[in-house]
Amino acid sequence: MMLLETLPVLLLLLIASADAFRIQPKAANDARAALSLPGASLSHPPRPSRRTLHVAHSLPTLSKQEAAVTSQGEPAVLENTLTTRDLDPDAYLQFLRDANLNVAHFRREAPGELVASLREHSHGEGFPNIRGLHLRRNAVGRVVDEELREGGMDAAARRDLVNDIQANVDFTVLGASRYMSSSSSFSADQPQCCSVDTDQVVLNFYRTDHTMCPRWHCDQVFLRLLLTYQGPGTQWALTSHTRTPTAAAPRFSVAQWLGSSKTTQTAAAMQPSVDAPQQSDPFDVLVLKGDWFRDVGSGSGGEGEKVRFANAALHRSPEFPVADGEGDGEGLGYRVLLAVDVLLKHEG
């Protein structure tokens, strides 16, 4: 009786075993195919090439010189301009050593919280108005922080902005000092007459509602850091896009550009023609070589024998629209600008 009851179960087990043996050949074929053995037929999706991956991750093209920057952030040179991502000390040294370059453009992302805080506080009357202040380099952050605190900016926003300003000043000055101390242009028979003053800088940090320097000009400085925190950035000229009215066009300091009407008329008559000027974005860092940038000393050790740098950066302040009443986009109606001059000290 027990045998009769278990017989159906045994029959079911036998049928299942037979089915299992029947599917083994198909499984073997699938395994062979997966191992790419002879007789297999596989259709793999195409593997993206390295070029395809590079294009897929390329940076948005914002201007001519930015198009040359690779997705890996490597520095790119376009005529007189070196462009790279963030503050790259090696790219900065490359820029300083190359006499054909006069603009270093460090592209940076604008942090959203700091942008919002600046919009909230920069339009008030209490925003800093620091112009032409000689001070110690390591005191720049403290001085700016005190001015921002008096203007009512909260501590967190002040900290982020102050740290950014101090970091950019240190990067520019100490990098220039590294260049001067390692320059191969100086030798024992031609001593270095000056060095970068790592202690003192000239600080400008202010809001402006008009175009400060509308004419193309070169600065009578060694190096100048320009950083637009809000509003349109500084414009500069590429070498091939610049044509001067005469072969010996005079150069003017900023004070002369904004001076007497006679000087202004003379400057206007000598204005170069610049096609397709380049322009920085907010939070980008620009370092410009000025008239007093040079990579050799006069050998005299005195200040009286300054050698004018023939390839100083030609630039100007941008025009920008008046406020649109909304306080957003390009219609702010003002700029927030940081400008710092790197100084030289002459050896006695």
Residue 197 carries which side chain, given as an amino acid letter?
D
Residue 15 included in any domain: no
Structure-model confidence comparison of residues 210 and 86, the more confident one: 86
- C-alpha distances out from residue 346 to 33, 44, 184, 195, 234, Å: 78, 69, 18, 7, 30
Residue 335 predicted with pLDDT over 70: yes
Region of poorest pLDDT, from 28-42, 64-78, 148-162, 195-209: 28-42
- 141, 165 Cβ separation under 8 angstroms: yes
Give the model's pLDDT for residue 91: 97
Burial of 95 (0-12, 13-18, 19+ CB in 10 A): buried
Residue 66 included in any domain: no
Give the model's pLDDT for residue 139: 98
Residue 47 included in any domain: no
Range of the domain at 97: 75-184+192-346
**Would you call 315 helix, strand, or coil by DSSP?**
strand
Tokens of 108: 């940076």
Give the model's pLDDT for residue 4: 52
Residue 263 included in any domain: yes
Strands (E), 129-193: 129-136
Residue 178 carries which side chain, given as an amino acid letter?
R
CATH number of the domain enclosing 325? 2.60.120
Structure-model confidence comparison of residues 209 and 186, the more confident one: 209
Structure-model confidence comparison of residues 172 and 257, the more confident one: 172
Which residues contact residue 173 at a Cβ distance below 8 angstroms, ignoring those fewer than 6 apart? 137, 196, 198, 201, 340, 342
Q: How does residue 194 score in pLDDT terms, banded at 50, 70 and 90?
A: confident
Burial of 29 (0-12, 13-18, 19+ CB in 10 A): middle
Q: Per residue in 321-331, pLDDT tens?
A: 655 444 444 45
Phi and psi for 118 in degrees, rounded to 5? -65, -40
Give the model's pLDDT for residue 193: 63
Phi and psi for 4 in degrees, rounded to 5? -65, -35
Q: What percent of the chain has pLDDT over 90?
A: 43
Q: Per residue in 291-312, pLDDT tens?
A: 988 744 443 334 445 567 788 9
Residue 195 predicted with pLDDT over 50: yes
Residue 190 DSSP class: B
Residue 45 included in any domain: no
Give the model's pLDDT for residue 303: 45
Residue 316 predicted with pLDDT over 60: yes
Residue 16 included in any domain: no
Burial of 96 (0-12, 13-18, 19+ CB in 10 A): buried
Whether the full predicted model's pTM is greater than 0.85, yes or no, is no
Residue 30 included in any domain: no
Residue 115 included in any domain: yes
Across the chain, mean pLDDT equals 73
- 103, 313 Cβ separation under 8 angstroms: yes
- Per the document, the length of the chain is 348
Structure-model confidence comparison of residues 342 and 321, the more confident one: 342
Whole-number Å distance between alpha carbons of 288 and 312: 8
Give the model's pLDDT for residue 215: 86
Residue 314 carries which side chain, given as an amino acid letter?
L
Structure-model confidence comparison of residues 31 and 273, the more confident one: 273
Which residue in 326, 292, 287, 327 sits closest to 307, CA to CA? 292
Whole-number Å distance between alpha carbons of 122 and 145: 14
User: What's the average model confidence in pLDDT over 109-118?
Assistant: 91
Q: What percent of the chain has pLDDT over 70?
A: 58
Residue 191 predicted with pLDDT over 90: no
Give the model's pLDDT for residue 274: 79
Structure-model confidence comparison of residues 336 and 61, the more confident one: 336
Residue 207 carries which side chain, given as an amino acid letter?
R
User: What's the average model confidence in pLDDT over 241-266?
Assistant: 48
Residue 318 predicted with pLDDT over 60: yes
Give the model's pLDDT for residue 81: 96
Residue 259 predicted with pLDDT over 70: no
How many domains, the chain? 1
Alpha carbon of residue 157 to chain centroid = 21
Which residue in 105, 58, 61 sits closest to 83, CA to CA? 105
Phi and psi for 20 in degrees, rounded to 5? -65, -40
Structure-model confidence comparison of residues 305 and 336, the more confident one: 336
- 230, 118 Cβ separation under 8 angstroms: yes
Q: Per residue in 155-172, pLDDT tens?
A: 988 999 999 999 999 999
Give the model's pLDDT for residue 136: 98
**Would you call 264 helix, strand, or coil by DSSP?**
helix
What's the sign of the alpha-carbon dihedral 190, 193, 198, 204? negative
